[in-house]
């Protein structure tokens, strides 16, 4: 009894410390906190012409034979005759938005490319999980895309996994806390891309300069048409080969969404330098790396196109905080 009384405060302190540690862990990784509701978007992507006809017209990808195969630019370690194939039900065209989906096989990996041509920059958007900005507010990519009425979507930068890094979405500034050595992708209201350093550019100034989206992950893969990463570059302590997600711009209102599989027997995955080389081969002027690994997901016309996986043992989408999407 004397021993217990003597050490009572130490026991109580240990219990309180353990409880506080558990709470901090739950608050950081589990407990959802909504800080702001995102403006509601129009979830209908059928234009007036489509409504009158009852369906939107489809377009097929440019091919070099009747099989619908296309040849990609030769890369290091890749044969000159590397082939690709157009994915089934792979195109969408309603006059305002044109999308062609193609699957490549390079670096022992399945890589999916959505080639996108828009009549207006406003059709390139982002969306939050549960239509809300906050901490630990997540949903799978396909669910966020469906809620947003997106035709095409990829996972975004998973802003919710970090407490720093700019968050500007659809013209609204949600977070202006800069992260050190952070390279962002800025999408401006005219649809052009820019790469900035958060330490050198204030979030409010970016907004005033016409930034509509700011994605804070990286790094930049291609800048001014040239590869901007080296073979040794990686995200944090990530393994060299992983599922990847990237976005690039080829020309005015002409974009590509790129997602690769990885961590499976069928697909090894890509390093950052391999992803950059692949993007350069698509003739992009600017390309940017988004959240990868288990987050990497490509959604098109109501379907998940790739094979998302966190550990390679189970195929399934990981819940994320946000997406980049195409829609009205």
Closest to 246 in 3D by CA, of 260, 262, 228, 258: 258
| Calpha distance 200→190 (Å, rounded) | 22
- Cα 51 to the chain's mean position, in Å? 30
What local confidence, expressed as pLDDT, does residue 28 receive?
A: 47
Q: Residue 177's pLDDT is what?
A: 97
pLDDT at 76: 34
Identify the pLDDT of residue 22.
Answer: 47
Whether 20 maps to a domain, the answer reads no
For the segment 236-250, what is each residue's pLDDT rounded down to a tens digit? 646 689 999 999 999
Question: Tokens 């239509």 label which residue?
Answer: 131
Answer yes or no: is 218 within a domain: yes
Structural domain that includes position 269: 32-326
**Total residue length of the chain:** 328
Question: What CA dihedral angle connects 62, 63, 68 and 71, to 10 degrees?
Answer: -120
Distance between CA atoms of residues 317 and 3, nearest Å: 53
Residue 182 confidence (pLDDT): 97
User: pLDDT of the chain along its 328 residues, tens only?
Assistant: 555 566 666 666 666 665 555 444 445 445 667 777 777 655 443 443 333 333 333 333 333 333 333 333 333 333 344 445 555 579 999 999 999 999 999 999 999 999 999 999 999 999 999 999 999 999 999 999 999 999 999 999 999 999 999 999 999 999 999 999 999 999 999 999 999 999 999 999 999 999 999 999 999 999 999 999 987 777 764 668 999 999 999 999 999 999 999 999 999 999 999 999 999 999 999 999 999 999 999 999 999 999 999 999 999 999 999 999 999 9
Answer yes or no: is 11 within a domain.
no
Which residue in the block uniquely carries the two structure tokens 């670096």? Answer: 107
* H-state helical runs in 172-289: 203-208, 272-281
The bridge status of strand 303-304 relative to strand 244-251 is: unpaired
Cα maximum dimension of the chain = 89
What's the number of domains the chain is made of?
A: 1
Within a domain: 295: yes
Predicted confidence (pLDDT) per residue in 249-270, tens digit: 999 999 999 999 999 999 999 9
Is residue 13 in a domain?
A: no
Q: In this prediction, what percent of the chain has a pLDDT beyond 90?
A: 69
pTM for the model: 0.79
- Establish if 2 belongs to a structural domain: no
CB 198 within 8 A of CB 178: yes
12 is a domain residue: no
Residues 128, 144: Cα–Cα separation, whole Å: 7
pLDDT of residue 18: 57
């Amino acid at each position: 009894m004397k021993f217990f009384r003597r050490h009572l405060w130490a026991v109580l302190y240990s219990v309180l410390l353990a409880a506080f540690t558990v709470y901090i862990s739950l608050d950081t990784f589990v407990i959802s906190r909504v800080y702001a509701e995102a403006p509601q978007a129009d979830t209908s992507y059928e234009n007036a012409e489509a409504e009158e006809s009852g369906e939107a017209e489809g377009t097929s990808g440019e091919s070099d034979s009747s099989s619908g195969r296309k040849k990609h630019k030769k890369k290091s370690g890749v044969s000159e005759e590397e082939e690709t194939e157009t994915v089934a039900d792979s195109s969408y065209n309603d006059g305002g938005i044109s999308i062609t989906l193609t699957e490549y096989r390079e670096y022992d990996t399945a890589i999916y490319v959505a080639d996108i041509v828009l009549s207006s920059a406003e059709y390139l958007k982002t969306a939050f999980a549960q239509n809300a900005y906050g901490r630990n507010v997540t949903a799978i990519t396909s669910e966020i895309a469906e809620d947003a009425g997106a035709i095409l979507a990829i996972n975004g930068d998973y802003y919710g996994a970090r407490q720093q890094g700019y968050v500007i979405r659809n013209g609204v500034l949600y977070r202006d806390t800069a992260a050190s050595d952070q390279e962002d992708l800025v999408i401006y209201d005219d649809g052009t891309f820019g790469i900035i350093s958060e330490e050198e550019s204030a979030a409010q100034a970016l907004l005033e300069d016409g930034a509509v989206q700011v994605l804070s992950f990286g790094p930049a893969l291609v800048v001014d048409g040239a590869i901007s990463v080296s073979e040794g570059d990686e995200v944090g302590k990530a393994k060299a080969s992983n599922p990847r997600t990237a976005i690039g711009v080829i020309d005015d209102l002409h974009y590509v969404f790129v997602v690769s599989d990885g961590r499976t027997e069928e697909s090894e995955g890509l390093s950052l330098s391999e992803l950059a080389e692949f993007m350069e081969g698509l003739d992009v002027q600017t390309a940017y790396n988004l959240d990868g690994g288990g987050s990497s997901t490509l959604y098109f016309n109501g379907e998940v196109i790739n094979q998302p996986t966190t550990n390679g043992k189970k195929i399934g989408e990981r819940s994320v905080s946000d997406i980049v999407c195409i829609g009205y």
